[in-house]
Amino acid sequence: MDRESAEPTVSELPGAKAREWVEYHHQVSAPSTYVYDFVWDITEDAEGPFCTDVDGNVLLDFTSHVAAAPLGYNNPKIMEKVEAFDFVDPTKIAGQDFYVSDGNAPGEEEIPGPATLMNRLADLTSQYDMDTVFLSNSGAEAVENAIKVAYDATGGKYGLTFEGAFHGRTLGALSLNRSKAVHRRGYPEIPAVQSVPYCRDRSCSPETCDCGFFVRGSSSLREKLHPERGNVDPEDVAYLIVEPIQGEGGYQIPSDAFVTEIADLVEEHDLTLVVDEIQTGVGRTGSMWASDDLPIEPDIITGAKGLRVGATISNTDVFPDEKGRLSSTWGAGDVVNSMMGVFTLDAIEEYDLLDNAVERGRQFKETVADAAPETVVDVRGKGLMLAVEFDTKERREAVVESALKRGLLTLACGYKTLRALPPLDVTEREIELGAHLLLDAIEDVS
């Protein structure tokens, strides 16, 4: 496949082979979230945002597997390095029992493993005085360990979260979710987790806010923590967890006033701030961490997706020092995924992909906003974390389906929003192609 000239080509979706694979898959698969009957053929051509399904259809993937494939498919920026190695088995070790290296001295390794990735992450969060990392399998595990660390460090009992939040699907993380009832309905929850509204207007001020966060010259969070009028003693708060941009909740970009109020209250009450960078981090917004562009100072950062592993990052004084307090069979033990995480960080730096995310994200927003009909109520995003909001949920669903038939993969989020997450090295041509496929799909259902 020549990425410079490839274009989506669709004959039938799903085709006969795809339908057969989907039926076969669901014979043993538990019900879950399958957006469409697209079956990637791993033996066929795929590069960057382009991939081929089992019926020969070529798709332009603007989901990047919900940011978990940050450079798309078979990207030479990573694969040329990967192909130089002969892998061993097991590729996952019981990393809490012993260590792994390639035989070279630390800092001189040719095959970067978990220790290399952890050191890189410590360097990339040093501006927040972070120097300690716990690796895990997923973002949900990263969040679980973050709140465990916070409970341990503070001795507090309350957790504070935001309306619309999504932090994962394990029981602890579910207790923090406020996006969709289906995620947590009927499951037991961590007690004493309270929520406040999340800003849904990126241009609002305390005077113009209508999302419920700012009220009567104050904020709902400030009132909750008020020593006389509040119902939560700040001394009892174990952590406040926030997404810099809400993901599952609808790609909501908060206002400067909202983030500044959080920063002020964290400092005023000495709260432990957990920033969930699982979707926003690793270059997705045009900065390594979305926090880098905000006035907040995270005490704990959770990462995953683009890192290929879960990561809980903080200062050594925050982490418990008791052995066994944190542990996992696969903690710090995934050799291949840690290596892929390192190579991803290398590619971001080597190819100036943070700048590319900013430029290409701006191109997408301008192209879609300039031509979108009135059925589009908002085009927003930061870097390559992009969203198009429609007038109704039904129209959003129809646009996702129409775009798929044209060969463009997108995803839904929130109530009536479509999200696009192109690879971090997406080109000007690919954005132009994807934006116009999306506009055609919008026109088709408008």
Q: Which two tokens mark 265?
A: 């209250």
**pLDDT value of residue 86:** 78
- In this predicted structure, what is the pLDDT of residue 91? 80
275 part of a folded domain: yes
Residue 243 resides in a domain:
yes
Would residue 71 count as lying in a domain? Answer: no
| pLDDT score at 10 | 96
Find tokens 């005077």 and name the residue: 207
Domain shared by 368 and 310, yes or no: no
Query: Does residue 107 lie in a domain region?
Result: no
Q: Are 250 and 381 in the same domain?
A: no
**Three-class DSSP labels, the chain:** CCCCCCCCECCCCCCHHHHHHHHHHHCCCCCCCCCCCCCECCCCCCEECEEEECCCCEEEECCCCCCCCCCCECCHHHHHHHCCCCCCCCCECCCCCCCCCCCCCCCCCCCCCHHHHHHHHHHHCHHHCCCEEEEECCHHHHHHHHHHHHHHHHCCCEEEEECCCCCCCCHHHHCCCCCCHHHCCCCCCCCCEEEECCCCCCCCCCCCCCCCCEECCEEHHHHHCCCCCCCCCHHHEEEEEECCCECCCCCECCCHHHHHHHHHHHHHHCCCEEEECCCCCCCCCCCCCHHHHCCCCCCEEEECHHHCCEEEEECCCCCCCCCCCCCCCCCCCEHHHHHHHHHHHHHHHHCCHHHHHHHHHHHHHHHHHHHCCCCEEEEEEECCEEEEEECCHHHHHHHHHHHHHCCEECEEECCCEEEECCCCCCCHHHHHHHHHHHHHHHHHHC
Q: 193 CB contacts (<8 Å, ≥6 apart)? A: 158, 159, 160, 161, 175, 176
Q: Work out how many domains the chain is built from and give that number.
A: 2
- Please identify, among 350, 366, 388, the residue that sits at the C-terminal boundary of a domain: 350
Judgement on whether residues 408 and 425 belong to the same structural domain of the protein? yes
Least Cα distance to 248 among 193, 305, 292 occurs for 305
Q: Which of 329, 350, 371 represents a domain boundary (last residue)?
A: 350
**If you search the block for the tokens 């810099």, which residue do you land on?**
244
| pLDDT at residue 259, rounded to an integer | 98
CATH code assigned at 29: 3.90.1150.10
293 CB-near residues (< 8 Å, 6+ apart): 285, 287
Q: Which of 350, 381, 409 is the last residue of a domain?
A: 350
- Are 276 and 131 within one domain? yes
Q: Are 301 and 161 in a shared domain?
A: yes
Residue 96 lies in a domain: no
d(CA 303, CA 352): 21
Distance in angstroms (rounded) separating the CA atoms of residues 437 and 247: 23
Residues (pLDDT < 50) of the chain are none
| One domain for residues 232 and 333 | yes
Whether 11 maps to a domain, the answer reads no
Within-domain flag for 178: yes
Check whether residue 172 and residue 311 sit in a common domain: yes
Query: pLDDT tens for residues 83-100?
Result: 888 777 788 877 777 888
CATH number at residue 313: 3.40.640.10
Query: In this structure, are 225 and 279 located in the same domain?
Result: yes
Residue 77 domain-assigned (yes or no): no
The reply to whether 323 and 194 lie within a common domain is: yes
Number of CB atoms found within 10 A of residue 65's CB: 15
Residue 367 domain boundaries = 16-61+354-445
Token pair for 253: 């970009």
pLDDT, tens digit (0-9, with 9 covering 90-100), for 105-139: 998 998 899 999 999 999 999 999 999 999 999 99
Could you tell me if 436 and 359 lie in one domain?
Answer: yes
Residue type for 13, please?
L
- Please tell me whether residues 202 and 302 are part of one structural domain: yes
Q: Are 264 and 376 members of one domain?
A: no
